[in-house]
Structure 1
Amino acid sequence: MRAQVLRFALVGVAGFVVDAGVLWVALHLGAGYFAGRAVSFLAAVWTTWQLNRRFTFAAQRTQSAWAEWWRYLAAMSVGGAANYAAYSVVVLALQHVSWAAWVPYLGVAAGSIAGLGVNFASARWWVFRHRTQR
């Protein structure tokens, strides 16, 4: 299981890059901190689902990709609530500092850390439970 946690964390880093990158684009297109984050979160969830199903929890598929996607989105939304809450606290608390341009990305990092444990547990024991565990 230790190797699986490491793979999940590495996939999480890729998800962070997507999350922060899409948020950057959304902010530059005029979306606010919270609408932009909703879009970036969905992009990150889709990316991590693709990577986790192939890299972290790879095995024979026992359910349709469509069903797996909806289970994954539901599971990540639970951790996403903690993630979004941490992001919101950081953004609201630090939006007026002199280095405010970096605040949304610090919020994404705080949110990612806040949701990590919940997301791993729900992915391993609910979304991908029917796959052979390595």
Structure 2
Amino acid sequence: MSRLPERHRAAGGEFLRFGMVGVMGFCLDVGAVYALIPSLGLYGAGMAAYFIAASANWALNRLWTFHGRSHRAAHTQWLRFLAVNLIGFMLNRGAYSLLLALFILPRHYPVLAVAAGAASGFLVNFLLSRRLVFV
């Protein structure tokens, strides 16, 4: 962080913490997909797992990534986080669904589709969270 100009250090730290929370969310997302496939199928498991992981990410981002910037009531902020991240959700689960529909490999290894989805929504979710949720 010391290589960043002073005015960007706070955002740089938030970006790194957001990424670390995202890795944890990715692991939770993958675990939930695999756990839910037998009961919900590939697409249902993907949708439910995203909601689970997004809720966990919101909590960790509130407590750690954007600590001190969380001025809204928790339930209001959680709903705002989910609403704002609908754009990231569309990118994330759009990539997930597209890969499942077009390729056989992600159907056998859903972790590939989850990873592609997570990567596609990451930057959008960070920017929207920083500017519209944790203010």
TM bracket (short chain) = 0.7 to 0.9
Matched, 1:17 2:41: no
Matched, 1:109 2:115: yes
CA-CA distance at 1:60 after TM superposition: 5.8
Structure 1 runs of 4+ off > 6 angstroms? none
**Correspondence for 1:35 among 44, 47, 56:** 44
Counterpart amino acid of residue 38 in structure 1: M
Q: What is residue 8 of structure 2 aligned with on the other side?
A: none
CA distance in 1, matches of 2:69, 2:121: 27
Counterpart amino acid of residue 18 in structure 2: F
CA-CA distance at 1:53 after TM superposition: 0.3
Aligned in 2, Cα 1:64/1:26: closer, same or farther, shift over 3 Å?
same
CA distance in 2, matches of 1:61, 1:119: 16
Gaps of 5+ in 1: 130-134
Q: What is residue 80 of structure 2 aligned with on the other side?
A: 71
Question: Quick check: which one's helix share is greater?
Answer: 2
Counterpart amino acid of residue 53 in structure 1: R
Return the TM-score normalized by structure 2: 0.87
Counterpart amino acid of residue 101 in structure 1: H
**Correspondence for 2:68 among 42, 59, 73:** 59
CA-CA distance at 1:100 after TM superposition: 4.2
Counterpart amino acid of residue 122 in structure 1: L
Return the TM-score normalized by structure 1: 0.88
CA distance in 2, matches of 1:7, 1:62: 19
Matched, 1:93 2:91: no
> What is the RMSD computed on CA atoms of the aligned residues?
1.4
Counterpart amino acid of residue 24 in structure 1: Y
| SS, match of residue 72 in structure 2 | coil
